[in-house]
Amino acid sequence: MPDFQDCHSQLGSDFFVPVKPAEFPAAILRYRNQPAAASIGLDQLSDADFVEHFGHFKPMQGSYDSPLALCYHGHQFGVYNPELGDGRGFLLAQLREKETGRLLDLGTKGSGQTPFSRTADGRLTLKGAVREILATEMLTALGVPTSQTFSVIETGEQLSRNDEPSPARSAVLVRLSHSHIRIGSFQRLVALDKPAALVQLARHTMRHYYPHLDAEAAVPDLLADLLVNLTRSVAEMTAGWMVAGFVHGVLNTDNFNLTGESFDYGPWRFLPELDPAFTAAYFDQQGRYAYGRQPEAAFWALCRLADCFVRQAEEQALRDALADFTPTLEAAMTRRLFWRLGLRQPAATEASRLASEFLKQAEQSRVGFDGLFFWLYGGWRSHQDMPQAYQPFAELLHGCAPRQPAQPAFFAAEAPVSLTIDEVERVWAAIEPGDDWSELDRKLADIRALGAALAEPQAV
């Protein structure tokens, strides 16, 4: 049975606005994430139930009677914007994860206008929804903390967009994530000069998302503890992006949540090759959120959260919390790199040296990024069995032992699974205009096979 919660509504009306969902001319279920549904006790819902609850937004028994559009501000490309908030989405329900008891959110994207929409239509294109399915599945396979795409329902509207051929097909997406509270949620309270509400939100965050910490601690300790734990989580998430070759594209402060989980996928990309200057968003002309600058952007966002706390916490304690970012990031990148390579991590100094040299060679050689982890996985292939360009990497890593007792069959295939922009466009080209979803199904099957191979037991 699903274990519904109403935690966010307990904060009070200063933190959200009840909203009415849009009514759509059609509701065609295009995707349902059955494992995600099972994790929160909703796997017994029929396809018709999915349409009813996640396309027409009929409240589920125990969930919110009215969806909640959350309030927040944020820095967008370094410029503070007080006119944000959930402009095309809302919090639909909160539930406990069956296995862990974690509090999880069902939140929407493309569900209609809210008081925060300004001049936008509050809608989502079907292509945007398909792209989010692909991003979340690939990041999950590569072990990166991420929201899950829970459902996608095509809605029958024709949308006008500047960055896509118009009219574009429309959809509403529901994501399952571990909190929609953002750095920008705290920034808003500082901008409105509401220190008591900031402390209230910090205690709420600690109570529901960091239950191992003391939510009733004195305010200075509370805020410092929250910052140090989020700093470590964001560093881990950012390391995941870097080793996955993922470029988020829009790392504004409203796109960092308080649990360190990647979410809200807009103009993302995966690297074709290791290029620090590679950008995902066509409008990021200065490269602010380029692949190689993502750690800088993540740290900058954490500093803006520290700014929110500085009046009520000890400045040195906040500085100490932020100082954890770089060592945590570097250790996590090294650990994740060897994990994705299917190798046991050597001793710390040697592991750091090899990781640094590996990434340096990858940047200089510009070989295919996903190929690095495919051809070199576990060190099982001989030089004759891999493209010549990858052989210097095999020589660099030749002393490392495999982390699994045998080569997974997945890595004996002829080519890696990738999700570069060409692959994404190929999937979409089958859907539009032919309405052929088999390419998406095949790509998801390949991605999940990759995830299963990476998760196979380590050698004892």
Please check whether residues 239 and 296 belong to one and the same domain: yes
Please check whether residues 323 and 353 belong to one and the same domain: no
Please check whether residues 346 and 319 belong to one and the same domain: no
Closest of 321, 310, 396 to residue 351, by C-alpha: 396
Q: Is residue 201 part of a domain?
A: no
Q: Is residue 182 part of a domain?
A: no
Closest of 190, 202, 136, 126 to residue 437, by C-alpha: 126
What residues act catalytically? 254
- pLDDT for 456 equals 73
Of 300, 331, 362, the residue that ends a domain is 331
Q: What b/e sequence results for 320-340 when a residue is b if at least 16 CB atoms lie within 10 Å of its CB, and e otherwise?
A: ebbebbeebbbbbbbbbbbbb
- Per-residue pLDDT tens digits for 280-323: 999 998 999 999 999 999 999 999 999 999 999 999 999 999 99
Please check whether residues 269 and 347 belong to one and the same domain: no
Alpha-carbon distance of 283 to 240, in angstroms, equals 24
- pLDDT for 460 equals 33
Q: Is residue 244 part of a domain?
A: yes
Alpha helices, DSSP H only, in 163-293?
183-191, 195-209, 219-244
Please check whether residues 32 and 92 belong to one and the same domain: yes
Structure token pair of residue 452: 């299963």
Please check whether residues 172 and 263 belong to one and the same domain: no
Q: Is residue 319 part of a domain?
A: yes
Please check whether residues 360 and 433 belong to one and the same domain: yes
Please check whether residues 347 and 316 belong to one and the same domain: no
Q: Is residue 79 part of a domain?
A: yes
Q: Is residue 419 part of a domain?
A: yes
Residue pointed to by tokens 């982390």: 403
Please check whether residues 352 and 390 belong to one and the same domain: yes
Please check whether residues 10 and 142 belong to one and the same domain: yes
Of 150, 177, 204, the residue that ends a domain is 177
- pLDDT for 161 equals 84
Range of the domain at 122: 4-177
- pLDDT for 457 equals 66
What is the Cα 154 distance to its own chain's centre? 22
Of 177, 200, 229, the residue that ends a domain is 177
- pLDDT for 459 equals 42
Please check whether residues 416 and 327 belong to one and the same domain: no
Q: Is residue 286 part of a domain?
A: yes
**pTM given for the model:** 0.95
Q: Is residue 69 part of a domain?
A: yes
Closest of 182, 107, 185, 110 to residue 148, by C-alpha: 107
- pLDDT for 458 equals 54
Please check whether residues 20 and 160 belong to one and the same domain: yes
Radius of gyration of the chain (CA): 22
- Per-residue pLDDT tens digits for 139-197: 999 999 999 999 999 999 999 887 777 799 999 999 999 999 999 999 999 999 999 99
- pLDDT for 237 equals 98
Structure token pair of residue 227: 């910052």
> Mean pLDDT of residues grouped by 10 in the chain (460 residues)?
92 94 96 97 96 96 92 96 93 96 96 91 95 98 97 95 84 96 98 97 97 96 98 98 97 96 94 97 92 98 98 97 98 97 95 96 96 96 92 95 93 94 96 93 97 74
Number of domains the chain is built from: 3
Alpha-carbon distance of 227 to 368, in angstroms, equals 37
**Which residues does residue 173 pair with via DSSP β-bridges, in sequence order?**
109, 152
On whether the CB atoms of residues 272 and 370 are closer than 8 A, the answer is: no
Alpha-carbon distance of 457 to 451, in angstroms, equals 12
